[in-house]
Amino acid sequence: MSTVDRPDSRGYFGGYGGKFVPETLMAALDELEHAYREACADRGFQNEFKQLCRDYIGRPTPLYYARQLSEHARGAVILLKREDLAHTGAHKINNAVGQALLARRMGKKRVIAETGAGQHGVATAAACALLGLDAIVYMGEVDIERQSPNVHRMKLMGAEVHGVASGSRTLKDAINEAIRDWVTNVGDTYYLLGSVVGPHPYPLLVRDFQSVIGQETREQMLAEYKRLPDYLVACVGGGSNSIGLFHPFFHDGEVEFVGVEAAGRGLATKQHAAPLTAGKVGVLHGAKSYLMEDDNGQISETHSIAPGLDYPGVGPEHSYYKDTSRARYVAVTDEQAVEGFRLLCATEGIIPALEPAHAIYHAAQMAADLPAEKIIVVNLSGRGDKDLDIIARFTGEKI
């Protein structure tokens, strides 16, 4: 786990982050920060996390040369960091196991979480089953319908799944309900937040647990290629898989970061989820960052074919990366993401989740314009069996 660099002591990455929460939660956040600092200094805690990463999650995940995809692009080499091969099928398990260990350490038996694509909910259910904790997962009704296989997986592992009927009935509203629960039950409940969003210290600790992705990528690149990659590409919703890949390379200026947001039906339609590409600065879910809002300052409804990207905000560290030009952010439409999905299936026999399919599409476009000696690493943050029904409906096919 890495605790170097930003945020500062108040939880700010430059001008982004902080704690914008009810007074009821300030003591809980201070308690969490103190517990996390103690855990970072505890070799036993770190060793248990590393052991579970190896024996339970299945780390390290491979850094795979996508030969056919690279040849299709006829340009740069494309490597895939295979987080889809981690236990439960996505990167979310890294953070879920780390925070579940922290909850147990703090004596919290009741764990709540939010989920959009369902992968964080599944990971939370798995980690809580492993450690003997009670799991309650909030999920928007729209996402329950389009990610029903993951709902069944959560229930099989003993989690309660609470449908959220308010607002757009997607990830934003699931977070709202989880926060309401936490405010009401703050004494005995641990909120296992799934991304690098929310009030400090969540963006820090989620980033640190997910940094195992970038740390492994660095080691694998140096071992196999004797150098660092030229580009790191990852999808960005809240932003945990991308920060997990990017952060360990923060000081390597020769490595360019590219974050891929969801353009949905097109940026001009405003039916998208691209706050870094086409949003404004504001406060959402306890932190200051880029977000999507209407002319009256109200949070806008979002759209993405990928449930895990269907969120109107983004983590404060990404906002800092944008303003300092440490990363550049682009947006890919639903149609382009489906093209990326099909491209990886056809060239590599790998079915990606719709979230990283956005990054696959953009990386293939990038590779075509780059010389053959350049190397692009794409974070394949999840597998796509959960999305087959969405793809079928989008294309008008029958399963």
Q: Which are the catalytic amino acids?
A: 92, 114, 381
The terminus-to-terminus CA distance of the chain in angstroms comes to 42
Angle between helices 92-105 and 43-52 (to 10 degrees): 140
Query: What is the total residue count of the chain?
Result: 399
Tokens at 71, concatenated: 């040849």
DSSP 62: P
Tokens at 216, concatenated: 């492994």
Contact 180, 212 (CB under 8 A): no
Tokens at 36, concatenated: 């996390």
Could you give the CA distance from residue 362 to residue 357 in angstroms, rounded to a whole number?
9
Q: Which of 175, 147, 139, 132 is nearest to 89 (CA)?
A: 147
Could you give the CA distance from residue 340 to residue 160 in angstroms, rounded to a whole number?
34
Tokens at 238, concatenated: 């809240």
DSSP 58: -
Quickly tell me which residue has 């806008």 as its tokens.
300
Tokens at 98, concatenated: 């780390």
The region that residue 58 occupies, defined by phi over 0 for left and psi between -120 and 50 for alpha, beta otherwise, is left
Q: Which of 347, 342, 335, 331 is nearest to 384 (CA)?
A: 342
Could you give the CA distance from residue 348 to residue 71 in angstroms, rounded to a whole number?
11
Quickly tell me which residue has 């969405």 as its tokens.
390
Q: Which of 399, 379, 388, 392 is nearest to 147 (CA)?
A: 388
Give 54: exposed, middle or buried? Use CB within 10 Å, 0-12, 13-18, 19+.
exposed
